[in-house]
Structure 1
Amino acid sequence: MSLPSPSDGSPAGTCAAFVRANTAVATPPLVPELRLHLATEVTPLWQATEETLQTSNLPPPYWAFAWPGGQAVARHIFDHPELVRGRRVVDFAAGTGLVAIAARLAGASHALALEIDAFALAAIALNADLNGVTVDATVEDLVGRPLADADVVLAGDVCYEKPMADRVLPWLRGLAAAGVTVLLGDPGRAYRPDRGLERVARYAVPTSLELEDRTVRETDVWRLLPA
């Protein structure tokens, strides 16, 4: 994924400039191996995003925060690099791209970050460059499609809304049935399924009250079992 120039006048360049201007380089607490462009407050960034795009009712800027599910998956990958070493990895709902970046640092042969937010794509490119790795990314919605080139699919915090969980989980189970390793990072979100999961790790993830209702969230990494 090529790094957008903040001065080239393109949409990608505009997004890259916005990310740089509204974040600071920081280290996620559970994953000190990484440095990311992160924000500290949700509301001002949300407002700035709407002003920049001259529109309203945008989704929250998920791309600017290291959510606990993603941190837990990334930590698990660093602790068990054999899960991704030499394999092709997809980071679903990638946000900052921290999981894809962790996979590449742990030895994955290729990482593809899936996102639907142009600002997220800019953040992923900047964060990958910051950590000295290459990560491909796309805003194309691939949910429901087979991922012929994927050996491992990693996803953090995808069960926080019912429409999202209802749409994504059957697809991920289908991938697992096709032989893909699917790992979910989840800090106890409301719509995580009760069955068809095998816990492989648990981490205490320091969190901000700006994002969560507590300062530490117990976050599990689950292997999704085939349907």
Structure 2
Amino acid sequence: MRKILGMAFPLPLALSLSLGLLAAPAHAAPPKKETAPAPAAAPAPTTPEEKLAAMKINIAAAVAAGKKASFFCANCHGEDGNSKYPEVPNLAGQNPAYLLEQIRKFGSGQRKDEFMQGLIKVLSDDERVQISLFYSESKVVPGNADAALVRRGQDTFGKLCVRCHGEDARGNEKIARLAGQQKEYLIRSITRYRDKTGERIDPLMQIATAPLTNDDIKAVAAYLTTKR
């Protein structure tokens, strides 16, 4: 017989108990808690399109920054995107994605204008997005035109232009807003598309404008400039 912890046990059993006590740790380690992996941080926006989507979340801050960054644009396009000159387009109310793409094209030289290219090249990607958002949030100021000419232009627009530019002539992310645009700018642009003399080549626009006379173009421009 052998005593273990003051109690008598037969020798084989006592030996087994002794070995078991020696093998057992003095203090058992608590089980490890399984922790869920931390969620991966969302990647920072890098492309202009991604930055545009991100800045829309805090639109007020982006618009304020865009107004500040667009100070040199105001000389021609006006402080709020309503042009000071009849041959210079209004930018107010344009879709921000459309504006951003036109800025990119000027910056890359895809659209040709020495003055615009020089100004845009100094803008950062963030400033380009902010300017686009600033102008898109500005309200366009419509022009005035002869009522009879407006009615004629509305009819022509409905036949040739509404399919792409929409019934309200506000376009979309890829097509320009024409509502409230400068009349002289519209006349020049439509004429260039018809005559294939502009720096922008667009087969659809060339097809749509091909049947227009000069008077038709003036009527369409009169209609569009009065729209909000």
Q: Same fold (TM over 0.5)?
A: no
- Rg larger in 1 or in 2? 2
TM range (shorter): under 0.3
Higher strand share: 1
Question: Normalised by the size of structure 2, how large is the TM-score?
Answer: 0.27
